[in-house]
C-alpha cells in the first residue's frame, strides 16, 4: 500500500509539473531579421529635432501606404532626450531629460505621451501606438553612459553599482558630447542590462547603437549590449553604426548584431570629392566586398536612402528635395536591393510624391531584396557594373549599372555574366517591359542609368 501511495503521489507531481511546463511561455529562439529590415528613420528629414506629432504623422503614412509592401520599422533617431537639440554645437548648453537611474528619457515637451500620472513613462505609449498599426518600433542611442549621470554618480537600476563604477572617462565618443564609454566589468554589464530593460519596457523592437562599430570599434560594448538584449527576453534587432566597418571583423559581429554599417554617413550626392559624406557612386566597391555576408540574420547596411523631401531639419544641410536625379535614385535603390542591404527610408513620408512612392512600392524589386540569394558583382568594365542574384523557381536576376556621365551601350551574352548557358525570357522590373527570349542582352543605358532584369529559363 505504501508503495502504491508513493507511486500515485509521484504521478500526480509529475503530471502537475508537466501541466505547468505546458502552460509556460515557449523559450524557442526567435529568428531576428530573417530578411533585410525595411522601414523609416527620422534622421534624414528631422535630424535631432523630431517631435511626437511629426513621428506619428510619418508612422501614419508608413502604416497606410507602405506597410502592405513590407515596410515595417519606424525609428526615432538621435536626440530624443535633448531639451534643446539645436544647441548641439555648444555642448555645455545642452539640457537632458533623465531618470533617477541616469537613463535618458524622451523630452515631454517634444513627446507629450511620455507623461502618465505625472511620471515620465518613456516611449511606452508611442511604442504601443506603433504596434497598434502593425509596425515595429525603433530608437537610436549612442553607446555608453550619460556624462551627467556620472557627474551626479546616480545609482544603476537593479544593481549595487553607481555611474562612476560604470564609466570609462578616458573613452569619449569622438564626435558626440553626451556620453562616456562603459567599462568591460560587472558594473558595465549591469548598466547595459538596466538600459535594455528600460527599452524592452517601452516595446522597442529595433535599436541602432552609434559610435560603436567604427571610429572607434568597441567589441566589448557590442557583446555587453547583445547579452543585455538576450536577458530581456524581447526580440530586438541590433543595428551598429557608424561605418566603415572593417571586413576583418565581420565574423566577430555576426554572433551579436543583425545589421552593421559598411560606410560612413551617406547623403544625397552622386559623387563627392570629399571623404565624407559618402555618395552613391562610392558605394559600389563596398557593396561588392560585403555582398557575401548578406544572409539570414546578418545584413551589411549601405545606410539610409536619402530619397524624396529631406526636411524640415535634415541631419545634414538645409531642407531640400533630394539632390539625386530620378536615374540616380533608381540606381541607388537597385544596388541596395540586389546587394540585399537593409532598406531604411530617409524621406519625410508626409511629403512623398507619386514618383518616389512608385520607387518604394515596386513589389518585384522589393522581392529581389527580400528573397533573392547568391547575390554578387560579376563584372566591372570601367564604369559599367553588373550584378546577379538567384530567385525562386530558377529565376535569375541581372542588374546592369552605367556609372559613366555619358550613354553606354552594352552587348553581352548572358553567359558572360556567369549565368547558366542558354536563352532566357527577360522582363525589366522597373518598367515591367517584356524583352522577349534571347541568350544575350543589348541595351543602351543613359548616364547614371540602370536596368534590373528578371530572367526565366
pLDDT of residue 16: 38
Whether residue 323 has pLDDT greater than 70 = yes
Higher pLDDT, 317 or 276: 317
Whether residue 392 has pLDDT greater than 60 = yes
Q: What percent of the chain has pLDDT over 90?
A: 92
- The mean predicted confidence, pLDDT, of the chain is 93
Whether residue 18 has pLDDT greater than 60 = no
* 380 vs 400: CA distance, rounded Å: 10
Q: Under 8 Å CB-to-CB from 111, ≥6 apart: which residues?
A: 51, 52, 80, 123, 126
Q: What percent of the chain has pLDDT over 70?
A: 93
What's the whole-number mean pLDDT along residues 97-101?
Answer: 98
pLDDT tens profile 164-222:
999 999 999 999 999 999 999 999 999 999 999 999 999 999 999 999 999 999 999 99
- CA-nearest of 248, 238, 236 to 201 is 236
Residue that the C-alpha cell 512608385 belongs to: 358
Q: What does DSSP assign to residue 246?
A: P
Spatial contact of 299 and 33, defined as CB atoms under 8 Å apart = yes
pLDDT of residue 132: 98
pLDDT of residue 124: 98
* 403 vs 447: CA distance, rounded Å: 7
Cα R_g (the chain), whole angstroms: 25
What's the whole-number mean pLDDT along residues 46-63?
Answer: 98
* 98 vs 322: CA distance, rounded Å: 35
- CA-nearest of 101, 99, 102 to 115 is 99
pLDDT tens profile 115-127:
999 999 999 999 9
What's the whole-number mean pLDDT along residues 18-46?
Answer: 70
pLDDT of residue 30: 67
* 207 vs 212: CA distance, rounded Å: 13
For residue 229, the tally of other CB atoms under 10 A from its CB is: 23
Whether residue 346 has pLDDT greater than 60 = yes
3-state DSSP percent of the chain in helix, strand and coil, to 5: 35, 25, 40
Spatial contact of 213 and 241, defined as CB atoms under 8 Å apart = yes
**Cell (9 digits) for 51:** 517631435
Torsion-angle region of 144 (φ positive above 0: left; ψ -120 to 50: alpha; else: beta) = left
DSSP calls for 107-159 = -TTT-GGGEETTEE-TTHHHHHHHHHTT-EEEEEEESSEEHHHHHHTPBPTTS
Spatial contact of 123 and 204, defined as CB atoms under 8 Å apart = yes
Could you give the domains of the chain?
38-371 (3.20.20.70), 378-456 (2.60.40.1180)
pLDDT of residue 274: 83
pLDDT of residue 31: 85
pLDDT of residue 273: 85
pLDDT of residue 275: 78
Higher pLDDT, 118 or 2: 118
Higher pLDDT, 110 or 5: 110
Higher pLDDT, 3 or 453: 453
Amino acid at each position: 500500500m505504501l508503495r502504491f501511495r508513493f507511486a500515485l503521489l509521484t504521478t500526480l507531481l509529475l503530471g502537475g509539473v508537466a501541466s505547468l511546463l505546458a502552460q509556460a511561455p515557449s523559450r524557442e529562439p526567435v529568428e531576428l531579421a530573417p530578411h533585410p529590415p525595411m522601414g523609416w528613420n527620422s534622421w534624414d528629414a528631422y535630424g535631432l529635432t523630431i517631435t511626437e506629432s511629426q513621428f506619428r504623422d510619418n508612422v501614419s503614412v508608413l502604416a497606410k501606404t507602405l506597410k502592405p509592401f513590407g515596410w515595417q520599422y519606424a525609428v526615432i533617431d538621435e536626440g530624443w532626450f535633448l531639451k534643446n537639440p539645436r544647441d548641439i554645437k555648444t555642448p555645455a548648453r545642452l539640457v537632458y531629460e533623465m531618470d533617477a537611474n541616469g537613463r535618458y528619457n524622451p523630452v515631454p515637451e517634444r513627446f507629450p505621451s511620455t507623461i502618465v500620472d505625472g511620471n515620465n513613462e518613456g516611449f511606452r505609449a508611442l511604442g504601443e501606438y506603433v504596434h497598434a498599426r502593425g509596425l515595429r518600433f525603433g530608437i537610436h542611442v549612442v553607446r555608453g553612459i550619460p556624462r551627467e549621470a556620472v557627474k551626479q554618480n546616480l545609482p544603476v537600476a537593479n544593481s549595487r553599482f553607481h555611474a562612476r563604477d560604470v564609466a570609462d572617462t578616458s573613452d569619449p565618443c569622438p564626435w558626440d558630447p553626451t556620453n562616456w564609454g562603459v567599462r568591460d566589468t560587472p558594473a558595465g554589464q549591469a548598466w547595459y542590462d538596466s538600459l535594455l530593460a528600460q527599452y524592452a519596457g517601452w516595446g522597442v523592437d529595433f535599436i541602432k547603437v552609434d559610435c560603436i562599430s567604427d571610429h572607434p570599434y568597441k567589441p566589448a560594448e557590442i557583446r555587453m549590449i547583445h547579452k543585455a538584449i538576450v536577458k530581456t527576453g524581447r526580440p530586438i534587432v541590433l543595428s551598429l553604426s557608424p561605418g566603415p566597418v572593417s571586413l576583418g571583423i565581420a565574423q566577430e559581429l555576426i554572433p551579436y548584431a543583425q545589421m552593421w554599417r559598411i560606410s560612413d554617413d551617406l547623403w544625397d550626392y552622386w559623387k563627392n570629392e570629399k571623404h565624407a559624406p559618402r555618395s552613391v557612386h562610392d558605394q559600389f566597391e563596398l557593396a561588392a566586398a560585403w555582398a557575401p555576408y548578406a544572409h539570414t540574420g546578418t545584413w551589411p547596411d549601405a545606410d539610409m536612402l536619402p530619397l524624396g523631401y529631406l526636411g524640415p531639419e535634415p541631419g545634414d544641410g538645409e531642407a531640400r528635395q533630394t539632390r539625386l536625379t530620378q536615374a540616380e535614385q533608381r540606381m541607388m535603390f537597385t544596388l541596395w536591393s540586389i546587394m540585399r542591404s537593409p532598406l531604411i527610408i530617409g524621406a519625410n513620408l508626409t511629403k512623398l510624391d507619386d514618383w518616389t512612392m512608385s520607387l518604394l512600392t515596386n513589389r518585384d524589386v522589393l522581392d529581389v531584396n527580400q528573397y533573392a540569394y547568391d547575390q554578387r558583382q560579376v563584372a566591372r568594365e570601367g564604369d559599367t557594373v553588373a550584378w546577379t542574384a538567384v530567385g525562386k523557381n530558377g529565376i535569375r536576376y541581372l542588374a546592369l549599372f552605367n556609372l559613366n556621365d555619358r550613354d553606354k551601350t552594352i552587348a553581352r551574352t548572358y553567359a558572360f555574366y556567369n549565368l547558366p548557358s542558354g536563352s532566357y525570357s527577360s522582363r525589366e522590373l522597373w518598367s515591367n517591359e517584356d524583352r522577349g527570349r534571347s541568350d544575350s542582352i543589348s541595351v543602351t543605358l543613359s548616364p547614371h542609368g540602370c536596368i534590373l532584369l528578371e530572367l526565366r529559363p
